[in-house]
Structure 1
């Protein structure tokens, strides 16, 4: 059957069909004219607010929830007038009004309902008015002329709707040889005037005496009496109809294969051409409300309904649908629905949360829970001794209690992209994300982007939705841990807080996502020599927050920078450090006429493990004019500058107090001496707690006798030199520099030991010498 509706504007109804059905046009025009007088000017339906559909044997009109006013209703207009759809009359006349899980208003009307105009050519038609109270208190009317294709009726059709039971059976035709004769003697009808006045309905109900075997008692009602008791009995040109609400006066309950049935056993009698005709209009509807079995909701229905079947019985198959529409076998398989028959019972299994149903959220004891409901539609067909084909349709709303559900977390992260992608959900429409907590920081959804977090709302085809959280690995709230071999572990710890609408309950769900990636770029160190310092440039790499920078054995800290005279420069992606020649961390390896050879060891150490992952050594030769070094092993190394003296002094001919102690090396203006303090005429004296070793660099012109300590000859050049050592204590290296010509600002006294004869390793503090040399200390 091709499902198609049409709803037309009232002003164009007279334009519909003028040539093919003139009588029908006149009827519709007359009804519309009366409607205009009753309701006033009708309103045109807004686009997208209404949906019409032809279901199996039913009209369907849906009004979107957002369009509903404070009060609303459906009115049905037909030959008998205008009637609101509500209460007992709705069930008796074949109308069902409900709110679907999305909050939309749904009208479902049987093709055989009251006021339906059944056309043998065009199919059934129904005029519906939707009455809506607007925000200003006024009432608006929206008319819909619903038209569906002509259905192909089976000999007997039974419908178990949510609020009523209905049976329609084909009118029997008496055999030719028995026409004009009575089929029953005596007939249960009087000789009243023709029409439905002569109709009778005979109900069979269980006898009050339970001891009687198969005891059923009968009760005969006229049509008027039946209608007063809530039964609707009517006929079309070809069919007899009986309809009533559940729990009708003559309904009784029985159990078949463990399934509760509500049954009405009824027979309609009427006169046809002086022949008494009877039609079995019995009804039986399954009352099973469904049950939750693991992850499936199960609904059971007996394969054979004894009140409706006369053996022999032949099963003609079954079909399953949702909300009045059948599903194909492919759709059933895709949704995971199951249909099985065993021990005379049909069992339909629907996965919890499957498409076609609706989820509702709850919070129970702080835990997120869900209940599931679905409007099941089931049709069973059979053939028996009485009817060539019976179609039995059931509309059954099924629902489950609230079941704890752990929200789903999916890690969609692609490590190479450097961004965490975490999906939360899916959730029904009644759940909304309000804020999240990352690394102890509470971030409202509206502020997430400003905070560097990207949260996306992802609608899903089945009406649910999920949330996608994206956080860069480099975000300051992402935990990082270096694992070695350039591998790093990124950890995102987040707590989602969600709100149930409209109840306002909240719940939280934590998530921790970990990604390990070989992406570590170690810090890179560059260095260059200047005249008086070593300049370092540390390029951070991408682990800058997990490393300590060591200059020699000193960790770079504000105190070291202040006291050591370091100069810092911060640039994009790097840190610049300038270490002065005599600053802490410098190591001195050699002193020659070319200058002082100093080295600087820079290490990058892992904060957690204390392991130096990367080291760099920079060596520089600093040109010097004068320098004096006192070594802890009792040696002195002195570089003197004779330039600027007058008359000129030839450094090659200089000596110490012992004239035999000549320069180790010299050039045209400088002389380098290296000697032990117990040689070369060195004198020793005590000053307080110190031993003072003194010597002197002298120059005598060539050809002049060399003076000695016993003579009083004068020298053209004399430069006192000396070392101070504590009497009791460790001898340490001291470096002195001449005040005259000092081009390097006083910085530190070295604290390093010397390896061998020419390598110094550490600095110490010392007092300023009283000689023309000043100690450089830190």
Structure 2
């Protein structure tokens, strides 16, 4: 049978603590293999410490280290962490029934954290499935074993010789056996057939050197651990092989028999060759074969079962023979193996384990058939950075990225989007979709999806209507057994031509310039400048801008004399003003859109002080109470030679330098005050000086104020301030203001409860 049921030996509980009814089903699994017992115990059942003991008629024996290897026991933890025991049918302490049936009593001793031991007895029983071959060689993980047929001279095997000897008085027994070992004279190694030297030892001495010599009803046996005292290494087709070259001599009645018990095992390791694991081993071991040689085939097995040629091909295994050496290439992660994840120095690493064995059979001059088994569990470690697959859909405006592929032992702990870490539940609540994506081969990936419009997705304007959406994220993965965290950062970008730029409409009103600012699709991307000044709430307040918000635009009325206006000229036809609106990219400081609105405003009276120390004045003589009205052509400044440059109707236009035309300069605190007058003094004939003149005097004070130190600015005075000059310094003063914090279209903070804008 292929699966052996565990037999609980309730009557054999000889240990102080023996448990027989507390084991979950499936914890212990046993099988009978061709030439050995096999047992596995789930890792979840194992205590802090554990061991195997075996029991025979002489007592209980603990399996550990080299003694276990010499006795034919292999105890390992497999790739899943389960405890595995393999025991040769010819191992010590095995009850052997005529080399056809075998029984072994095993005790699992489990020690908990408190040091208390609990024992579990298991009786293993296996029949011999296939007859023994004349010579069988086993290369286990921790020992080498060879057993040969034991025959009498009447039916001698080719590999045996017999020599008649004089009668001896001693009884025939194992203690009288001898073992002849051969070693290379040159211990440097590397030669396939080096010159040899020989020494013959008693069985007792061989056992002291680590060799188990035994005999059963039909077999002669030699077993030793790797690296034994009399072993040596050589190169077979460039592959390292460990060899024990030995012949056992024993007596049968009056004859001395000798049997070749040489054994050789490949010790070279598998290694990565590109994406494949490469294992090389000799097809013919020269130390075991005496020509002529006949190859009887190679069989490959994984996890205790031989593979068919079809299965081997389906799994991608490539088996080739090259110049007497077999090359086996197995894709990393191929079916049949097991991948385990690790985090090493912050990097994600995968280890691939494959429970491999193979069997060779051949005929040669010595033996009619040799069966050679080699257990070669493969273990390779490879940095395996996960692959980020970007399946972002521009048409759906959706980021879609997956990270993989991972084995079953890796799980997603959390993600960080932008600078916001979040669990699975939090991610879904915030509009970030996470999903687990399984694949038929048992691996899996993790999918993350979020729209371009998500607040944690950053946007950047590239120009020409293109916008770049950037998703910055970090997958945080948990790797057992210690829940080590591996962080995989990623940045995903998508460039889309979907930007609608803001636009401006303008018009002239009686009170100023009205601007309509239509929203675009990236309002937060732009800084708006009005007349070269950044639009913020301070400018809105100081300029007296009137705002009105609509769904997709807002209107802004800029008064005639407000900050942001540019004055192109002043004439008797009116004041020519221009207001410019510019949209500037916050990140690149590049101007993306501009708009200019030009208006001409009629003015009756106005005083303009220019930074270049020039003044422009329009006065209306009809606005005064003079009777009869004063002719504007007759007016002048304090210097009578400074007359109007233009007149029309009752209005006169003056332009003059503040350093001329009789201008008086005075200093008050930090300001220089320039004063002058537009005046008319009627000329009265000498003889009429005592009489009242029909023309009354006309006088309008004009002037400018500039700082003593600092930049001179354009200043405009409205007509109502002219009569109170110079006590009212300015009605509108154009100057710079500190920058405020950015905000879509209008930066800074609102003040004085100004209306909000969209």
Normalising to structure 2: TM-score of the pair?
0.64
**Retained in 1: the 8 A contact 2:231–2:244?**
yes
Does residue 162 (structure 1) correspond to residue 162 (structure 2)? The answer is no
Cα distance between partner residues in 2 of 1:730 and 1:557? 21
SS across alignment from 1:312: coil
What CA distance in whole angstroms lies between the structure 1 residues aligned with 2:421 and 2:653? 75
Over 3 Å counting, the alpha-carbon distance change for 1:551 and 1:422 in structure 2 is farther
**Equivalence for 1:96:** 74
In structure 2, relative to structure 1, the CA distance for the partners of 1:474 and 1:505 (3 Å cut) is same
Gap regions ≥5 residues in structure 1: 11-30, 590-595, 641-655, 660-675, 696-708, 713-719, 739-746, 752-778
- Go from structure 1 to structure 2 and tell me whether the alpha carbon gap of 1:34 and 1:429 turns closer, same or farther (over 3 Å shift): closer
Q: Per the alignment, in what secondary structure is the counterpart of residue 69 of structure 1?
A: coil
Aligned to 2:540: 561
How far apart, CA to CA, are the structure 1 residues paired with 2:460 and 2:32? 62
CA distance in structure 2 between the partners assigned to 1:574 and 1:49 by the alignment? 70
Deviations 1:310-334 (A, max 9, x none): 3221223323445655455566556
Asked if structure 1 preserves the Cα contact closer than 8 Å seen for 2:74 and 2:87, the reply is yes
Residues 416-495 of structure 1 mapped to structure 2, 5 A cutoff: 416=394, 417-419=397-399, 421=401, 423=403, 473=452, 480-491=459-470
Alignment-derived partner of residue 242 in structure 2:
261
Q: Secondary structure at the match of 2:647?
A: coil
**8 Å Cα contact 2:567-2:576 kept in structure 1:** yes
Distance 1:630 1:124, change over 3 A: farther
Residue 517 (1) aligns with residue 496 (2): yes
Q: What is the CA–CA distance in structure 1 between the aligned matches of 2:343 and 2:169, rounded to whole Å?
A: 63
Taking the aligned partners of 1:518 and 1:432, their CA distance within structure 2 comes to: 34
* Deviation for aligned residue 1:556: 1.3
Give a deviation string over 1:386-436, Cα, whole Å, max 9, x none.
Answer: 444322122245667x88x58355242414353363637869979999998
Distance 1:691 1:208, change over 3 A: closer
Which string of whole-angstrom CA distances, capped at 9 and with x for unpartnered residues, describes residues 285-341 of structure 1? 223245666666544322212332232212233234456554555665566554332
Q: Deviations over 1:703-728 (max 9, x none)?
A: xxxxxx9899xxxxxxx9x9979899
Residue 189 of structure 2 is aligned to residue 205 of structure 1: no
Distance 2:80 2:549 in 1: 59
Alpha-carbon shift at residue 347 of structure 1 (Å) = 3.2
Give 1:139's aligned residue.
Answer: 117
1:385 and 2:365 correspond: yes
Question: Is 1:6 aligned to 2:5, yes or no?
Answer: yes
State how far apart, in whole Å, the 2-side matches of 1:514 and 1:116 are: 67
The farther-off stretch of 610-619 and 161-170 is: 610-619
Structure 1 residues 536 and 115 mapped into 2: Cα distance closer, same or farther (>3 Å)? farther
8 Å contact kept, 2:343–2:486:
no
Which string of whole-angstrom CA distances, capped at 9 and with x for unpartnered residues, describes residues 3-24 of structure 1? 424225x3xxxxxxxxxxxxxx
- Partner of 2:290: helix, strand, or coil? coil
2: CA distance between counterparts of 1:492 and 1:92? Answer: 61
1:734-763 per-residue CA deviation (whole Å, 9 max, x = no partner) reads 87799xxxxxxxx98699xxxxxxxxxxxx
CA contact (8 A) 1:360 1:428 kept: no
1:101-500 matches, cutoff 5 A: 101-116=79-94, 126-146=104-124, 151-153=129-131, 155=133, 156-170=135-149, 184-186=162-164, 200=177, 202-206=179-183, 217=198, 219=200, 221=202, 230-234=210-214, 239-248=219-228, 250-258=230-238, 259-267=240-248, 269=250, 280-290=260-270, 298-322=278-302, 324-329=304-309, 337-350=317-330, 356=337, 376-396=356-376, 405=383, 407-416=385-394, 417-419=397-399, 421=401, 423=403, 473=452, 480-491=459-470
Provide the rounded CA distance (Å) in 1 between the counterparts of 2:506 and 2:95.
97
Alignment partners' CA distance in 2, 1:208 and 1:607: 84
Deviation at 1:535, TM superposition (A): 8.5
Name structure 2 gaps, 5 residues minimum.
188-192, 569-574, 609-614, 623-627, 632-644, 655-661, 665-673, 681-692, 707-711, 722-729, 735-758
Aligned partner of 1:23 in structure 2 is: none
Aligned residues: 653
Q: Tell me, in whole angstroms, the C-alpha distance in 2 between the residues paired with 1:142 and 1:333.
A: 42
Q: CA deviation at 1:636?
A: 8.8
Measured after TM superposition, the shift of residue 186 of structure 1 is 1.5
Q: CA deviation at 1:160?
A: 0.7
Q: Distance in 2 between matches of 1:142 and 1:351?
A: 40
Backbone CA RMSD of aligned residues: 6.4
CA pair 330-521 structure 1, distance change in 2 beyond 3 A: farther
1:286 and 1:466 map into 2 onto residues whose CA distance is 39
Q: Tell me how far 1:95 sits from its aligned partner.
A: 0.9
- Asked whether the equivalents of residues 31 and 39 of structure 2 are also in contact (C-alpha less than 8 Å), the reply is yes
Question: TM-score, length-normalised on structure 1?
Answer: 0.62
User: Residues 191 and 523 of structure 1: is their aligned pair in 2 closer, same or farther, counting only changes over 3 Å?
Assistant: farther
User: Corresponding residue for 1:76?
Assistant: 54
Q: For residues 354 and 183 of structure 1, do their structure 2 counterparts lie closer, same or farther at Cα, with a shift above 3 Å needed?
A: closer
Q: Would you say the 8 A contact 1:4–1:147 is kept in 2?
A: no
Deviation, 1:262, is 1.5
Equivalents in 2 of 1:558, 1:144: separation in Å? 87
CA distance in 1 between partners of 2:305 and 2:389 (Å): 37
